Every structure is written in C-alpha cells, then in structure tokens.
Amino acid sequence: MRYFRVTSGDDERLVVSDGDAAYDLTSAPDGPSTVVELLAADETRQGLDEAAEAYLDDAGEVEFDDDDLVLPVEPPEVWASGVTYQISEEARQEESDEPDVYIDVYQSERPEVFFKATPSRTVGPNESVGIRGDSDWDTPEPELAIVLYEGDIVGFTIGNDMSSRSIEGANPLYLPQAKVYDRCAALGPSVTSAGDIDDPHDLEMTMQIHRDDEVVYEGETNTGEMVRTCEELTSYLTRHNVVPDLTVLMTGTALVPEGDFTLHEGDLVEIEIEDVGTLKNPVTTV
C-alpha cells in the first residue's frame, strides 16, 4: 500500500491507498497523523501495512489530488549514495579534474554514503527544489529512496538529489557544498510499503525536465542497473552509526543529463518510479 500525507484545512492527515480506494487513517479513533506515529503504535513490528490494518475498519474513505500532498515523511536525516550506477561513475569522471576517485568508489567494496539534508533543507511534492546561485552547472538526480525505522527498511519513496556538478567537479572535497544547501532534496509523493514492492532492484524509473512547455530532457532506466543492493547500502549507513527513525537513504542515480545541460529557474522536474509514484518539483535559485 502507499502512504500519503495530505493537507485538510490546517491539518495534515495520513492517508493510505490500496490502489482502489484511499482511507484517512487519522480519522480513526486515536488514528496516526504521520508514518512514524503509525509504526510506533504497532507493537508487532511487522511493517507498515500490518500496522495500518488496525485502523482501516474505522478509517473513512477520502479523495484528494496532487495539490493536497505534502512531504510523506519528515526524515530527521536524509543520506545519499554515490556512484552506484555505471552512468553515474562516467558522469562524475566527465565533470571532475580527478576522475580516478570515482572509478575507485564504483569498484570498491565500501560504497560512498554521505549526509545529504536536514528537515529544513528537504521539500515535498510540488515544492521548489533549489539550484545554488554560485553554481553554473546544476542537475537533478532521480533516485529510489529507502525509508528506515529502527534500522530496518519499511518502505520506499522517490528522492531528488539536487547537485552542483560545477562545484563537485572542481574538487571532490567540495562534495558537501555541491550537495547540501537550501532545498537540496525532494521526497515523495508517497511511501510505498516494503512489503508492496516485489523487487526494489527491478523498478522502471523515468525523468523529464520541462522548460517553457517543452521537454528538454527525457530519460529512463531500471533500478536493476544498480551495482549495490538496498540492503548493502543500508548496512553501511547503519554500521557504527545509529540513525534516527524515519531516516531516508537515497540509493544513487542512473539518469544524468548529457554534456553541459544545466537546470534553469522555472524548470519543472518530474520523476516517476514504478509502484512508487510521480514526484514533481519546480526549480528555483537559492
């Protein structure tokens, strides 16, 4: 099932969809209004869908549209993975004055896992993602994102790892500045429960970038191209590192616009992942 956070007046409510109908879990007696409240109330620890079953009989059906959606989870930390697809390795070599470091990461036992965003730097569906005012080469990076609870994978969402290729390319040590800034991460539109994804390593992913009513970039891939597994990336994130509940881990990108393509203010980034949904975000300069 898919879990959405929806605005209703001044309230934000937790809604679950089984594909046929949507149910307002918050409307049930003592119903949760966030994913973390839903999981915390479940003593069985069997997963999101099992936790939701306790409220479904008393939850009213509800209708909503894309304009009602907000960030589906509020992760205390967002982390990201780098160079997990061959095309990402090639793109990093293309942009960098020190390309060998990316070959080493792609082929090494230890993956690249880095801190990406705080809650204040993370936006949800339809909110603007940022490009840095001191960068002249900026791209979105569409990624399957893992949602963690008590260190376990409980669901998946879509992540957009906004990046300054000019800053990172100047020196790999500038990675935090290239990756961590205002509006640098987007998540949504929902969280699909881990039990509802047959194989996270076999999902179709597409991205379109719209500019002035034209599609200026379009690409597609499959998460099966990822050289790492979700379990492997999670294990490295949580080694000797206790992460807070609802931490999100992005798993790397396989869709990188070619050449010197750069985002412009006013562009619209649209990312779709099979069984997860479509995340849309306009672009602004920060």
- At which of 40, 68, 96 does a domain end? 68
Based on the fold, state whether residues 138 and 205 are members of the same structural domain.
yes
Pairing label, strands 11-17, 268-273: unpaired
Based on the fold, state whether residues 222 and 93 are members of the same structural domain.
yes
Of 124, 112, 141, 116, nearest in space to 227 by CA: 112
Based on the fold, state whether residues 30 and 119 are members of the same structural domain.
no
Res 89: pLDDT: 46
- At which of 68, 103, 123 does a domain end? 68
Based on the fold, state whether residues 146 and 190 are members of the same structural domain.
yes
Containing domain of residue 22, as a range? 2-68
Buried-exposed string 134-154: b where 16+ CB fall within 10 A, e elsewhere: ebebbbbbbbbbbbbbeeebb
Based on the fold, state whether residues 57 and 177 are members of the same structural domain.
no
Based on the fold, state whether residues 182 and 58 are members of the same structural domain.
no
- At which of 20, 46, 68 does a domain end? 68
Res 99: pLDDT: 56
Based on the fold, state whether residues 86 and 19 are members of the same structural domain.
no
What is the distance between the alpha carbons of residues 75 and 85, in angstroms, rounded to a whole number?
25
**Alpha-helix runs per DSSP H in the chain:** 35-40, 48-56, 86-95, 100-107, 165-170, 175-179, 230-238
What is the residue-level pLDDT of the chain in tens, covering all 286 positions? 999 999 977 789 999 999 999 999 999 999 999 999 999 998 888 899 999 999 999 999 999 999 999 999 999 999 999 888 876 545 554 555 555 666 566 678 889 999 999 999 999 999 999 999 999 999 999 999 999 999 999 999 999 999 999 999 898 899 999 999 999 999 999 999 999 999 999 999 999 999 999 999 999 999 999 999 999 999 999 999 999 999 999 999 989 898 889 999 999 999 999 999 999 999 999 9
Based on the fold, state whether residues 99 and 31 are members of the same structural domain.
no
Based on the fold, state whether residues 269 and 173 are members of the same structural domain.
yes
Based on the fold, state whether residues 8 and 87 are members of the same structural domain.
no
Domain count, the chain: 2
Domain harbouring 233, CATH code: 3.90.850.10
Based on the fold, state whether residues 138 and 231 are members of the same structural domain.
yes
pTM: 0.93
Based on the fold, state whether residues 51 and 170 are members of the same structural domain.
no
What is the distance between the alpha carbons of residues 196 and 81, in angstroms, rounded to a whole number?
23
